[in-house]
Amino acid sequence: MALPAAALRRYLLLLAQEHLEFRLPEIKSLLSLHGGQFSGEQEIRVNSPFWILNIPSEEMARGLMKRTVCAKSIFELWGHGRSVGELYASLKNYPVDKMLPYLQSDSTYKIHIHTFNKTLTQAQKIKKIDALEFLPFKGKVNLKKPEHIFWILEDYGMDPNNVPEEPFHLYFGRWIADGQRELIESYSVKKRHFIGNTSMDACLSFIMANHGRVKPNDVVYDPFVGTGGLLISSAHFGAYVCGTDIDYNTIHGLGKATRKNQKWRGPDENIRANLRQYGLEKYYLDALVSDSSRPIWRKGMLFDAIITDPPYGIREATRRTGSQKETVKTAERSTENHIFVSSSYHLSDIFFDLLKFAAEYLVMGGRLVYWLPIYRPEYTEEIIPRHPCLKLISNCEQMLSSHTSRRLITMEKVKEFKDQDQNSYLLDGQYMPYRGHNSFREKYFSGVTKRIAKEEKDNQK
Amino acid sequence: MVGTSKPAPLNHVPRSMTSSPLRVSSPRHGCPVTVVTAVQSGAAPLSPEVTQTGGGAGMKLLTHNLLCSNVRGLRPGGGFPLRIQASDVSVRPVPFNAAFVARLVPRLRWGALLEAAESLGHPSELPPEPAPDYEGDEAFLRRVHHVLLEVEVLEGFLQCPDSGRQFPISRGIPNMLLSEEEA
């Protein structure tokens, strides 16, 4: 939908300075979810907390903020510049008829000033606010509950050791809405009833649901569901959720607790109870014990999104049912014959199976979002697993250590899955070069780690 | 970005990429407990033998409609639908969402749904096929909603129609794992 530039309004997005790589894919996905489009001409400095976006309507801007955990606030941009003079000139150019509805004499307002990378004294702030007297404000100032809030935002750059006297960029806008960053605290893993060793932190699980374009009434599936943390964020956004896991005890909420000082899991520690804790129980469909390499679903486009964190073989085992024997841990007592755990499941097989599963079981346009563990010294973009039915949407790195990281991969189904070319694409070498990472676990733990750490230390001398 | 210093005025949101040991001092109470084995009120601490279902939840017929047997060597389509042999079924209300139910209808195997509801003693009162204008028919959607989401199997088996292999359902959770020999 290509609207002329004049029809688009300009908004200023103020972002939180964490998970920097994950922000643009989140904002793009959310804009597209609300019928918008992220155009290439947007003035984005990717690492800056200030982004100017062209969005067709305020409604779409509000829709974006109802979902984002990366952005703090959004403003209708009235003026901006690289100096105070430019800012004021820009404000004088802003159409007065667009300002007037918010400056009426019977309304109340306040002006807030926000600085990035610098702290101003109260006196300095007041001076800057007073300098805006030339704007046609007719209403009364109300600092407690104003109808309209305006912000001056000043960008003093990205270097805390080199803070300039004057800001590099200045902005003035009308506050519209805040994002959903409070969810990070309210859904914190610290307060969650049921956790496991590798439960995902709340912010990242919301980012994953957003990268996955999860919408209300979607059916979202997690094939490595564990304690269900990733389902919670999708359910919060109105999707109905289900998951499977090979670990019987985790699905049933049995066995040893993950929390220190707690021996066994308690009565409200299972996935359904986690959802109930947040009032999301109605979105819970089912959890089942199964091996994700042997799908239990009838063939068809059943799921709107697959959002998952497969095991990396480090803190949880990678395993599947198969031919070799392995001793079942006797510490978790259960009378049922529930685990037939065995053959080593190569890391690359997990992703191969996962992409194949997504290609077959996602609806058209549906997304797969998953974490891929990476050994950084050997990483190139070519090792990201591919599938002819899936298009790579984004690839965002989160560092774990100097030589390991994980990447959040988002793929979208763009082509229907045909049974006959199920495995033929394997012959094309480009599809599975991830094999080198099969020894990720060894590399993570091995002497390689120590050698690299020593080398880095030596280099610092 | 590991190592990047953050400018002072912003609130530093702590990053918890990994879960560190957490301290919990009080036991968690959140929901009604169905105690199935003998530990009753009194001094005995909770142990893994006490099964808790947090309110008695079970496998929904929606899930059943999507499941099929993964036993090796079946003819195509031979693993669906699984026959339900239920020893404990319950009905549990779920808030009605017409839009969600309408979205599900095209994904369902209608015959298998009716058959499953029938076999559990909860005949669905649904027509042999959805009418073309089902999306606007609230009464119809409510009946679909009831059968798909409110009827739950707590205990029993799911049986593969071709091989006869039985997958147990316990505490409402189907176990679809195959044995070493079968896999």
Chain A interface disruption, residue of B5, B10, B167, most A CBs within 10 A: B10
pLDDT, chain A, mean:
84
Q: HEC states along chain A?
A: CCCCHHHCEEEEEEECCCCHHHHHHHHHHHHHHCCCCCCCCCECCCCCCEEEEEECCHHHHHHHHCCCCCEEEEEEEEEEECCHHHHHHHHHHCCHHHHHHHCCCCCEEEEEEEEECCCCCHHHHHHHHHHHHHCCCCCEECCCCCCEEEEEEEECCCCCCCCCCCCCEEEEEEEEEECCCHHHHHCCHHHCCCCCCCCCCHHHHHHHHHHCCCCCCCEEEECCCCCCHHHHHHHHCCCEEEEEECCHHHHHCCCECCCECCCECCCCCCHHHHHHHCCCHHHEEEEEECCCCCCCECCCCCEEEEEECCCCCCCCCCEEECCCCCCCCCCCCCCCCCCCEEEECCHHHHHHHHHHHHHHHEEEEEEEEEEEEEEHHHCCHHHCCCECCEEEEEEEEEECCCCEEEEEEEEEECCCCCHHHCCHHHHCHHHCHHHHHHHHHHHHHCHHHHHHHHHHHHHHC
How confident is the model at residue A328, as a pLDDT? 35
Give per-residue pLDDT as tens, A35-52.
888 775 566 889 999 999
Question: Cβ neighbours of residue A239 under 8 Å, at least 6 residues apart?
Answer: A209, A214, A215, A216, A217, A218, A219, A220, A283, A304, A305
> Which residue among B23, B60, B183 places its CB closest to the CB of A294?
B183
CB-based contact A385:A355 (threshold 8 Å) = yes
Query: Which pLDDT score, from 0 to 100, does residue A320 have?
Result: 66
B residues 32-71 near A, CB within 8 Å? Answer: 33, 46-49, 52, 54, 57, 59-60, 62-63, 66-70
User: Which of A52-66, A236-250, A440-454, B15-29 has the least mean pLDDT?
Assistant: B15-29
Of A216, A273, A297, the CB nearest to B66: A297
A17 to B9: CB separation less than 8 angstroms, yes or no: no
Could you give the C-alpha distances from A24 to A116, A416, A421, in angstroms and in order?
Answer: 20, 28, 34
Q: Give the lowest-confidence range in A100-114, A431-445, B42-56, B105-119.
A: B42-56
What is the predicted pLDDT for the residue at B175? 96
Residue B170 near chain A (CB below 8 Å): yes
Q: Do A201 and B1 touch (CB under 8 A)?
A: no
Q: Taking chain B, what is the end-to-end CA distance rounded to the nearest angstrom? A: 43
Band of pLDDT at residue A111, cut at 50, 70 and 90: very high
Segment A157-182 mean pLDDT: 96
- Distances from the Cα of A149 to the Cα of A119, A143, A174, A175, B10, angstroms: 21, 9, 6, 6, 20
Burial A202-222 (b: 16+ CB within 10 A, else e): bbbbbbbbbbbbbbebbbbbb
Residue A297 confidence (pLDDT) above 60: yes
Average pLDDT for B163-168: 94
pLDDT greater at residue B19 or residue A109? A109
**Average pLDDT along chain B:** 76
Task: Find the range with the poorest average confidence among A207-216, A217-226, A298-307, A438-447.
Answer: A438-447
What is the average pLDDT across A314-343?
Answer: 43
Q: Is residue B64 pLDDT above 70, yes or no?
A: yes
Spatial separation of the C-alpha atoms in residues A311 and A232, rounded to whole Å: 19
- Contacting residues of B for A266, CB less than 8 Å apart: 27-28, 46, 52
Model pLDDT, residue B45: 37
Eight-state DSSP code of residue B67: B
Check residues A329 and A454 and name the one with the higher pLDDT: A454
Structure tokens at A74: 């959004």
Higher pLDDT, B43 or A275: A275
Place of tokens 């960029």: A169
- pLDDT computed for residue A119 by the predictor: 95
Q: Which residue has the higher pLDDT, A332 or A183?
A: A183
Using the CB atoms, write b or e for A241-280: b if 16+ within 10 Å: bbbbbbbbbbbbbbbebbbeebeebbbbbbbbbbbbbbeb
- Chain A: residue whose CA lies nearest to B65: A298
CA distance A160 to chain B (A): 5
Confidence label for B31 from pLDDT (cuts 50, 70 and 90): very low
Comparing A322-336, A381-395, B93-107, the range with the smallest average pLDDT is A322-336
pLDDT at A167: 96
- Residue matched to tokens 């002497």: A447
- Can you give the pLDDT at residue A426? 56
Give the Å distances, CA to CA, from A413 to A52, A342, A384, A435, B37: 30, 32, 16, 23, 47
Q: Give A171's strand partners.
A: A80, A153
User: How many angstroms separate the CA atoms of A177 and A64, rounded?
Assistant: 9
In tens, the pLDDT along A369-417 reads: 999 999 999 899 999 999 999 999 999 999 988 888 999 999 999 999 8
In the predicted structure, residue B150 carries a pLDDT above the cut 80? yes
**What pLDDT score does A172 carry?**
97
Residues in chain B: 183
CB–CB of A115 and B24 under 8 A?
no
User: Could you give the CA distance from residue A422 to residue B151 in angstroms, rounded to a whole number?
Assistant: 36
Q: Kindly report the CA angle at A341 between A337 and A345, in degrees rounded to 5?
A: 155
Please state whether beta strands A303-308 and A319-321 pair in parallel, antiparallel, or not at all (unpaired): unpaired
Of B7, B79, B178, the CB nearest to A117: B7
Smallest CA–CA distance, residue A107 to chain B, in Å, is 31
Round to whole Å and give the CA distance between A287 and A305. Answer: 16
pLDDT confidence band for A249 (50 / 70 / 90): confident
A221-236 mean pLDDT = 95
- Contact between residue B156 and residue B86 where contact means Cβ atoms under 8 Å apart: yes
pLDDT at res. A349: 84
Q: Are A346 and A377 in contact (CB under 8 A)?
A: no
Whole-angstrom Cα Rg for chain A: 25
pLDDT in tens, A93-106: 999 999 999 999 99
- For residue B23, the model assigns a pLDDT of 32
Instruction: Tell me if B19 and A301 make a contact (CB, 8 A cut-off).
Output: no
One-letter amino acid of A80: H
Distance CA B148, CA B139 (A): 14
Q: Crossing angle, helix A202-211 and helix A229-236, to 10 degrees?
A: 60
Which tens digits make up the pLDDT trace of A21-33? 999 999 999 999 9
Spatial separation of the C-alpha atoms in residues B129 and B109, rounded to whole Å: 10
Give the CA distances from residue A341 to residues B100, B119, B177, in Å, rounded to whole numbers and listed in that order: 37, 34, 10
